[in-house]
């Protein structure tokens, strides 16, 4: 089968489309023929081994797992002998754990706990746009953010891969959502349900006198005192990303109880089922910016790394009829 492989850390130039052995499912695994995948920040963090801590996970000098790609949408080709939830021919979607990436490929073997049936209303491309970004939004809002119905919630970076899910998932909790984005993305962020939109090129959400119960930050470009100023007395700020290591360390060291990093998002069945229901009910619909082929994964990663994506960057691996 064809797969994107990298044998050294570096820029997207290290990614190569290669012929590799097709994996065989273990007893509890499902072999999925992949129709679509999508690119996430995790792919380029691992590819570049940035920050340096990534090397502790995936090899100090060179990558142990030479494949990338977490999100998968495709059709079950074969199942291991202990698999109970799926059979050949099922259309599925899900997210590979960060230490088992490999969905930038024609086939992948996934534990059955990593997959769910694909919602029929979604194309494979749409389904592939969902898992890791939606896990991040859901876990950041719910677990670190303690989101509650009726709250005033602000999403910084509302137009990106994670932010477009965060806006919709926060709305599904019955909150009043303010999305922060630039001028060109205001209509899109409104169209996915934001009650208010702040154009960060014209207005600073930490200086306009508004206070929020929950800030979910998918950019990570603000100081702890900025967040504190924009929070209500019992408010919480859940930070998913960061624009520099100094921002990361500041949040870790000075954030206190109210401002903190969310835990690294984890693929898991319970949350996949919650997200599947949100997709089926139409409360969440993925926003797709661009679509690339498997061969074009390096270009897709280069585009994502620029930090200007409007929703998700999807990889079409095979056409399905």
Ligand X SMILES: NC(=O)c1ccc[n+]([C@@H]2O[C@H](COP(=O)([O-])OP(=O)(O)OC[C@H]3O[C@@H](n4cnc5c(N)ncnc54)[C@H](OP(=O)(O)O)[C@@H]3O)[C@@H](O)[C@H]2O)c1
Q: Whole-number minimum distance, CB 261 to ligand X, in Å?
A: 7
Position 51 contacts ligand X (CB under 6 A) = no
Return the residue nearest ligand X (CB atom).
241
Position 41 contacts ligand X (CB under 6 A) = yes
Position 300 contacts ligand X (CB under 6 A) = no
Q: Whole-number minimum distance, CB 174 to ligand X, in Å?
A: 23
Binding mask 101-140 for ligand X (x = CB under 6 A): --------------------------------x--x----
Beta-ladder partners of 236 = 214
Q: Whole-number minimum distance, CB 305 to ligand X, in Å?
A: 8
Q: Which is nearer to ligand X, 54 or 304 (CB)?
A: 304
Position 185 contacts ligand X (CB under 6 A) = yes
Binding mask 209-228 for ligand X (x = CB under 6 A): ---------xxxx-------
Position 265 contacts ligand X (CB under 6 A) = yes
Position 180 contacts ligand X (CB under 6 A) = yes
User: Taking the mean position of all CA atoms in its chain, how far away is CA 41?
Assistant: 8
Q: Whole-number minimum distance, CB 188 to ligand X, in Å?
A: 9
Question: What does the alpha-carbon distance between residue 92 and residue 117 come to, in Å, rounded to a whole number?
Answer: 4
Determine which residue in the list 72, 240, 294, 300 makes contact with ligand X, applying CB under 6 A.
Answer: 240
Determine which residue in the list 54, 197, 304, 317 makes contact with ligand X, applying CB under 6 A.
Answer: 304
Position 237 contacts ligand X (CB under 6 A) = no
Q: Whole-number minimum distance, CB 290 to ligand X, in Å?
A: 11
Q: Which is nearer to ligand X, 41 or 115 (CB)?
A: 41
Query: SS3 sequence, the chain?
Result: CEEEECCCCCCHHHCEEEECCCCCCCCCEEEEEEEEEEECHHHHHHHHCCCCCHHHHHCCCCCCCCECCCEEEEEEEEECCCCCCCCCCCEEEEECCHHHCCCCECEEEEEHHHEEECCCCCCHHHHHCCHHHHHHHHHHHHHHCCCCCCCEEEEECCCCHHHHHHHHHHHHCCCEEEEEECHHHHHHHHHCCCCEEEECCCCCCCCCCCCEEEEEECCCCCCHHHHHHHEEEEEEEEECCCCCHHHHHHHHHHCCCCEEECCCCCCCHHHHHHHHHHHHCCCCCCCEEEEEECCCHHHHHHHHHCCCCCCEEEEECCCCC
Q: Which is nearer to ligand X, 201 or 321 (CB)?
A: 201
Q: Which stretch binds ligand X (CB under 6 A): 20-28, 87-95, 113-121, 176-184?
A: 176-184
Position 194 contacts ligand X (CB under 6 A) = no
Question: What does the alpha-carbon distance between residue 146 and residue 134 come to, in Å, rounded to a whole number?
Answer: 16
Determine which residue in the list 3, 181, 194, 197 makes contact with ligand X, applying CB under 6 A.
Answer: 181
Determine which residue in the list 129, 262, 267, 287 makes contact with ligand X, applying CB under 6 A.
Answer: 262
In this structure, the dihedral spanned by the alpha carbons of residues 67, 314, 275 and 100, taken in order and rounded to 10 degrees, is 0
Could you list the residues that contact ligand X (CB under 6 A)?
40-41, 133, 136, 156-157, 159-163, 180-182, 184-185, 200, 218-221, 240-241, 262, 264-265, 304, 307-310
């Amino acid at each position: 089968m064809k797969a994107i492989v990298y044998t050294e850390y570096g820029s997207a130039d290290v990614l190569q489309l290669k012929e590799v052995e097709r994996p065989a499912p273990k007893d509890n695994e499902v072999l999925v023929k992949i129709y679509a995948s999508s690119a996430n920040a995790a792919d380029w963090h691992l590819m570049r081994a940035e920050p340096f801590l990534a090397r502790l996970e995936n090899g100090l000098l060179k990558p142990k797992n030479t494949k990338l790609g977490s999100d998968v949408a495709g059709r079950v080709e074969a199942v291991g002998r202990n698999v109970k939830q799926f059979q050949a021919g099922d259309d599925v979607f899900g997210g590979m754990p960060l230490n088992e990436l490999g969905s930038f490929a024609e086939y992948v073997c996934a534990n059955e706990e990593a997959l769910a049936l694909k919602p029929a209303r979604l194309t494979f491309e749409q389904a592939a746009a969902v898992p890791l970004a939606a896990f991040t939004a859901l876990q950041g809002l719910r677990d670190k953010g303690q989101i509650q119905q009726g709250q005033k919630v602000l999403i910084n970076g509302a137009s990106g891969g994670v932010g477009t899910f965060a806006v919709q998932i926060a709305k599904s909790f019955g909150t009043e959502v303010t999305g922060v984005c630039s001028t060109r993305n205001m209509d899109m962020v409104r169209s996915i349900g934001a009650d208010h939109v702040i154009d960060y090129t014209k207005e600073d959400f930490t200086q306009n006198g508004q206070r929020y119960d929950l800030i979910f930050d998918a950019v990570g470009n603000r100081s702890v005192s900025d967040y504190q100023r924009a929070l209500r007395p019992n408010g919480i700020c859940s930070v998913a990303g960061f624009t520099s290591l100094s921002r990361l360390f500041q949040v870790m060291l000075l954030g206190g109880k109210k401002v903190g990093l969310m835990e690294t998002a984890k693929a898991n069945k319970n949350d996949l089922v919650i997200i599947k229901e949100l997709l089926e009910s139409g409360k969440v619909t993925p926003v797709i910016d661009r679509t690339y082929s498997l061969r074009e994964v390096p270009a897709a990663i280069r585009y994502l790394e620029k930090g200007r994506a409007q929703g998700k960057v999807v990889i079409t691996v095979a056409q399905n009829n």
